Structures are given as C-alpha cells and as structure tokens.
Structure 1
C-alpha cells in the first residue's frame, strides 16, 4: 500500500474526541502522547472537546462536530487524530461540514467507534481516513509503535501498512477498503453514510463479542446482501472472540454465507501493537 501521508518536523496536528470523551484520569497518558508528538517535532492543537465534562461526553453532538470542523478548516493542521472510543461518534455525523472536507481533505485517524466517521468521510467527502489509534504510541508497545509511526509517516516506509495475513478462501482481492469495527460499522445501515460495498474490500474487527454476538452481526451483513456485492473480506482481530477460542465458529459461518475471497490478520484491531489500514484506499491483496 502506498503511503498517502507524509509528516515532517514542524507539522501541526490536532487531537480530538468525537466519541465518548477521554476520562480525566487518563490525562497523564494524553500528556505523555503529546510529549511523544512534540519529540517528533510536531506542534499539537487540542480540541476543547477532548475530556469528559459530565457523564460520557466532552460536549454535545453539535459542539463536538464544530470542533472537528474547526480542525479541518485550520490550514496549519496537517492531520487530525481522534483518541477516543465508546458509543457516541454517530451523534455528530449530521453536523460535520462534508463540503469543506471535500474541498480541503485532511487525514483523519481513529478506530473502533470512530469507524462511523471514517466511513462517513469516505461516502460524503470522498476522502481517505486511517483506521489507527494514536494512543498506541503511549501504550505498553509504545517504543515499537513510535518507531513504526516515524518510519511510516516521516520516512515514507510501509511499517504500519504491511500486515501479515493468511488466506481463508481465494488467493487475491482488489478494491477500496471500507468498514472497521463491525458493531459500529453497522450503525450506519439505512443512513446516507453507509458505503456501497460493490467491488470494495470489507474490513472488519471487534473488541467485544463472543461467537453468538459476532455471528449475529455477520448475519445482518448477509441479509443486507453485502457479501454478494463486495470484492473480498479482511478479518482483523476479534479480541474477546479469539481469547475464548471461538473464532473457528465465526470463520465457518462466514464461509457458509459467502463466496468471496477472505483473509485473516491478527495485526489490525484493538491491540496496542496494531497496524493501520486506510479506509477509501485501493488495496490489492494477493497470495
């Protein structure tokens, strides 16, 4: 996969929480992340909607979207990193200024619940976004992640893009990547933000969910005829499912309900050593 983003010392980046706000007790981790970014030579702009105020939220939906729009409109900001997760990101979709983003595209990073925004940016602004959690830089795998991040986005290498995989069915697939966290991706069904799967590669992963839950989500995709249209399926890590040794149940079900090429990788998902995949980017996967 080609590197679609190049950063350099002196670049300004933005931090935001479009889903549930960051817990105040996690402020030291955020400060560590900012220190790491500054060690790369970055200037950091923080959204006012970053930490939780009352309950789960760092602001109401319109406030969070306004801050996101502000970061996109700031020409000095080279990339935007969402460091949140949870359940709240789809609340802001109707308030995002997609017309401005289409005219002034900017890399947006996030994962898990941010899957709704990654795909909305693709469907409404035809812009690429990055399924990646920047907080990995300040995680238990931080040293390795920082090195991979620097090589990928400063030196133009493919460290974070090159993931190991094995084939479940087939030997090649080609298309633009859509998807993300399976539960959150399905929030978009029936809305204008749900991407057309036709001739695209569907990427799916999950943090929570035993076999019964994950199978039910795949059944919904099958009933939407998603697997009849897409060019292939990339299965990332399914953390709870795999920790309970139940992935084989889901694998057999997916093979039963589809006829498309399928690959499995353990290197993209919720783990702190996870790699990056670009939503909206053309990807060729071959054996």
Structure 2
C-alpha cells in the first residue's frame, strides 16, 4: 500500500473502536486536536469516542457504523483510533468489509486495534498503521510530533526508522501482520485471522508476565502460524520487561522456532511505549 501523505486542509477523523476514552482524559483528546489543527488539518470526531455505558464508546453496532461511515466519506483522508482495551472484536460482525475494500482508507491504531487492523487485512487486503496517535501528547510528545510531521507531511521515514537487532538470521522479508499478541489471538479460529504463509508476524504486549506470554505464544504456534511465517518481529512486552524477564522470553521464542530456523528481529521501537514508532501492516 502507498504511504499516507497529509497536507494543509485535509480532513482526518478520530474514533474509539475499542473501549471509550475516560472523561477525565478529555483534555488529552482536546490537546491532540489542537496539534492536528495547528498543522492545518480539519479534525472530525466520531460519535463514538468517549465512555458511555459499560465503558464503551457506544454499542458494537454503533462503533462499527461510525467506522463504516468514516471509511465511506470521501472527504476523510485518514482515521485515527485513539482507544485500546478489550472490546474491539465486538464490532467485527458489523463492519462493511466491501466498503472498506473500496475506500482503502488509512486506519491507525494499536493494542486492541490489532483485532480490527488484522481483520480488515485478512478480509480485504487493505493494510493499516500500527501506531497510536495519542503518543503526540504523551511523555515523548514533542519528539513524536516532530517525527509524525516529518513522516506524514514531509514524506520522510522518521516514524518507520527503528533500531533493531537480529536474534537469528540476517534478512527478514514478507508482508507484515500481527501487533498485540493477546489481541491478535482473539481472531484465531475465525475468518478474520490473517494467514501467516510467507508473512512476517509482529508481536508486542502490554500486560502479562513470562508464563502468560509463553502460553499465548504456544497458542499462536498451535494455530500453525509459526510453521508458515517467514519470520518474527518482536517488539516490547511492557509488564514482562518490568520484571526483568525479556531475555527469558527471547530465549523461549528461539527455542520454539529452532526447527525451522526462521529469522527473528527484536526492536524496542514497537510496543506500548510513548516513544514507539509506526509499522504498516501489509
């Protein structure tokens, strides 16, 4: 897919397809809108952004309807999901995949939005951006804003330029799928699970210590994905790393892929950190 390029006067939209944004964080949303507007962008807010009943931003049908509407709107250049949590998979039965395929609208999100990005790619072939635009107003906001503008307004590669190391192999090639490991596994056994044949699987995580993450990796292996993929791109696993368990995780990944010997790359530039970069699925 071609990379998104923005310019003064373009319209972008904000939405929460997973859990709604807590009202106590409304000021952060407003700050984000100020920065986007300062670059000359028009910002449209979906009806489903802030928390309502059960912590959602709306029912699954309402959230899906808003995403469908924004995808169909020719005036909207890109859609930024600013949410995360647990409820994104609820919208999948109500998405208009035919319309999404026609519009090929750039959709940004991460964490629980791994569900939506991978489902769209599996069903339509339309890739998405693994990136959280709320990073523009978080701890590393100034740096993120500089990279965002350089990437999406000036045509640079700043958000894609990540430090990495090869744990095995010297070359990693293939279309990219994946994202948050826990959320990707919500798609297992459904028509929305992207096939891994010849593709690179990207994995990262927020919660979960070593044993829990290993149990998820075992489940991923049992889907057959690790037997088909061309390699792995491993990002950060926040809670696990806080307990000093990163090396044990990387060692386990090497062991369960030893038979095939696929290339494995590790980067600290992808994950839930506010300094994380952007990867394009597909």
TM-score (norm 2): 0.97
| Partner Cα separation in structure 1 for residue 90 and residue 179 of structure 2 | 18
**How many angstroms does 1:3 deviate by?**
6.3
**Contact 1:3–1:152 under 8 Å retained in 2:** no
Tell me by how many angstroms 1:53 deviates: 1.1
Asked if the contact 1:178/1:201 (under 8 Å) is kept, the reply is yes
Partner Cα distance (2:102, 2:224) in 1: 33
Alignment of 1:162 with 2:161, yes or no, is yes
Aligned to 2:98: 99
Unaligned segments of structure 1, at least 5 residues: 281-287
Whole-Å separation in 1 of the counterparts to 2:200 and 2:222: 18
SS in 1 for 2:178: strand
Question: 1:224-250: per-residue Cα shift (whole Å, max 9, x none)?
Answer: 221110000000011111111101111
Superposed CA offset, 1:115-148 (max 9, x none) = 0001011111211100000000011111110000
Does residue 82 of the first structure (1) align with residue 84 of the second (2)? Answer: no
Correspondence list, 1:23-172, <5 A? 23-172=22-171
Deviations along 1:10-65, one digit per CA (max 9) or x if unpaired, are 11000000000011111000000000000111000100111011221111100000
- Are residues 1:183 and 2:170 paired? no
TM-score normalised to structure 1 length = 0.96
Mapped to 2, the partners of 1:255 and 1:223 lie a distance apart of 16
Aligned to 1:270: 272
Deviations 1:68-126 (A, max 9, x none): 11111110000000000000000000111110111111100000000000101111121
1:3 and 1:269 map into 2 onto residues whose CA distance is 23
Give me the CA root mean square deviation. 0.9
C-alpha distance in structure 2 between counterparts of 1:273 and 1:103, whole Å:
33
Distance 1:140 1:104 in 2: 34
Tell me, yes or no, if the aligned pair for 1:3 and 1:157 is still in contact at 8 Å. no
Aligned counterpart, 1:246:
245
Partner SS state of residue 174, structure 1:
coil
Contact persistence 1:130–1:277 (CA under 8 A): yes
Give the distance between the partners of 1:227 and 1:54, measured in 2 at CA.
39
Q: How many residues align?
A: 279
Q: Within 1, Cα distance between the matches of 2:102 and 2:227?
A: 33
State the shift of 1:215 in Å.
0.6
Q: Can you give the 5+ residue segments of structure 2 that lack an aligned partner in the other structure?
A: none
